[in-house]
Amino acid sequence: MGTVGIKSKVQDSVEYIRKFTKSTPQISIVLGTGMYSLADLLEDVISVDYSKIPHFPTSTVESHKSKLIFGRLNGIDVVLTAGRFHYYEGYSMEEVTYYIHVLKSLGVNTSILTSASGGLNPHYREGELVMITDHINLFSENPLRGQNDDELGPRFPDMLNSYPSELRDIAVKVSKNLNIPLKEGIYLGWQGPSLETPAEYKMANLLGADLVGMSTIPEVIINKYRDIKTLAFSIVSNVCYPPSAITETTINEVIEVVNNNAKQLQKLVFALIKKI
């Protein structure tokens, strides 16, 4: 538990990945539910299966593939994580966030996170694209719980500016240039996998959240800890507030809404990558 002991594992993982690529991407793009098509835009692709990388957990959720994909996007070297590790799958928080330490060792200093989420802001519509500006962490466990390796990051990471405003400002400019509507909002995360009751959605709204989801936050904490800048985008897959607007939601509907609206996010990320 904690980050003590991670360095030697990361060395093993990196050594294996280096058999396939010498790439040193500075930007990672973490593909959330239904976002896999972003990988289609990559050139000079080299994929490495998670299952073969020493110490990597294997993603168990069907809607995700399970590999690191290296390539160039709009001329820039990037690494995509196709398949994310969620706490609700039964992984420990260390497993959920392990990949970040590996990517940091490969050269990553900026991470673009994508996700699907429930919309709590009554002005949000299904399929809308939202940039996360801050979060409320209601996960039951923190990925940094345990003994800390001070060489990796501070014992008590500050969480101010976890979604750096200088990057968000660039994203807003790029979205305006492309005429892509981009809302902004606060993401509340907890473990799932059950969705929320109407009373819980109402509580999350009362707490000040605009979005609710089951990912992102553990990764943002480790990004901050490892000095990796985060940009996070979420597609509203289902409207959760006001309570009268809530309808039954299945994973297939979530994936369908994201698939139908992922093009806008792809366009934004494609253009943005050159500016950050």
Between CA 142 and CA 259 the distance in angstroms is 31
Which ranges constitute the DSSP H helices of 2-151?
6-17, 93-106
If one asks whether residue 240 binds ligand HPA (CB under 6 A), the answer comes out as yes
Q: Return the H-helix or E-strand segment holding 145.
A: none
Q: Compare residues 25 and 118 and give the one whose CB is closer to ligand HPA.
A: 118
118 binds ligand HPA (CB under 6 A): yes
Helix (H, G, I), strand (E, B) or coil at 133: strand
Select from 94, 128, 196, 219 the one that contacts ligand HPA (CB under 6 A).
Answer: 196
Q: Which stretch binds ligand HPA (CB under 6 A): 17-25, 85-93, 153-161, 192-200?
A: 192-200
Contact mark string toward ligand HPA, 253..272, x via CB under 6 A: -x------------------
Among 69, 212, 221, 268, binds ligand HPA (CB under 6 A): 212
Rounded to the nearest angstrom, the gap between the alpha carbon of residue 234 and the centroid of all alpha carbons in its chain is 9
Please state the three-class secondary structure of 161-223 as a single string.
Answer: CCCCHHHHHHHHHHHHHHCCCCEEEEEEECCCCCCCCHHHHHHHHHCCCCEEECCCHHHHHHH
Does the protein bind ligand HPA through residue 28 (CB under 6 A)? no
Number of shown-chain residues binding ligand HPA (CB under 6 A) = 13
CB of 99 vs ligand HPA, minimal distance in Å: 20
Give φ, ψ of 49 to 5 degrees: -65, 135
Give the binding site for ligand HPA (CB under 6 A). Answer: 116-118, 192, 195-196, 212-214, 237-238, 240, 254
